A and B are shown apart, each in its own frame.
Chain A
Amino acid sequence: AQKITQTQPGMFVQEKEAVTLDCTYDTSDPSYGLFWYKQPSSGEMIFLIYQGSYDQQNATEGRYSLNFQKARKSANLVISASQLGDSAMYFCAMREEGNSGAGSYQLTFGKGTKLSVIP
């Protein structure tokens, strides 16, 4: 079963509007982390925002916020006031305990959502 599901292969948003990118996850680990990364067409992977499973409040970083609904196992990314430079692939990822335990926290990624910002 998919551990991270991103159901929107592509999204369009008008410049200056807000957009929500969906992410649901599946884990039985009580301690986990959820991350969002941005990958522009140039290829680099840019960290945007982090939410820990024990965090009581939703994470925010500038124009990015994470709508964390633990009971529903969802961690949607909200981008406010979209800019042309926001056009990119966005990946949701989860960190769980690795197979060997200590010092291993590999990320499992979703398939990504390609966001296009329209002027």
Chain B
Amino acid sequence: AAGVIQSPRHLIKEKRETATLKCYPIPRHDTVYWYQQGPGQDPQFLISFYEKMQSDKGSIPDRFSAQQFSDYHSELNMSSLELGDSALYFCASSFLPSGPSYTDTQYFGPGTRLTVL
């Protein structure tokens, strides 16, 4: 079965540089989520998109922005990188069926490991 694809898998940047992370959700999934997982931490929600519109925002710094394109892939843009941005960045996708009892399991990609030097 197709899974979530993230690229690149590893990225090394210098402070104050920019980075772009890409995510290709599972086909026919309509929702994309971005999470940040610092070393030894649990994943923290950054931002989500439903049907190409931003649906919710979490603890995402103003230096970060994201969008979802017409083909449903999403990109997370990070500018003025700081040492503290070094983390594992996950993209997850889900399908949101209607009804009071549903399963909207989020399937995670392999993550992009960002190192800021």
Contacts and interface: CB of A to CB of B under 8 A. Distances in A.
Interface of A: 31, 33, 35, 37, 43-47, 50, 52, 54-55, 91, 95, 98-100, 102-112
Nearest to B88: A43
A104 B55 contact: yes
B50 A54 contact: no
Given A35-B105, A102-B55, A105-B106, 9 more contacts: A35-B106, A37-B108, A43-B88, A103-B48, A103-B55, A106-B33, A106-B56, A109-B43, A109-B44
Contacts of B14: none
Contacts, number: 80
B100 A102 contact: no
Interface string B30-52: 11010100000011110010110
A46 B48 CA distance: 19
A47 B55 contact: no
Contacts of B42: 91, 109-112
Given A54-B100, A111-B42, A104 B48 contact: yes
Contacts of A54: 100-101
| Among A54, A102, A107, A109, residue most surrounded by chain B Cβ atoms (within 10 Å) | A107
A107 B51 contact: no
B30 to A, nearest CB: 8
24 contacts: A33-B103, A43-B88, A44-B111, A45-B90, A47-B105, A47-B107, A50-B105, A52-B103, A54-B101, A98-B55, A98-B56, A100-B55, A102-B55, A103-B53, A103-B55, A104-B50, A105-B31, A105-B96, A105-B104, A105-B106, A106-B45, A106-B58, A110-B42, A111-B42
Contacts of A107: 33, 35, 43, 45, 92, 106
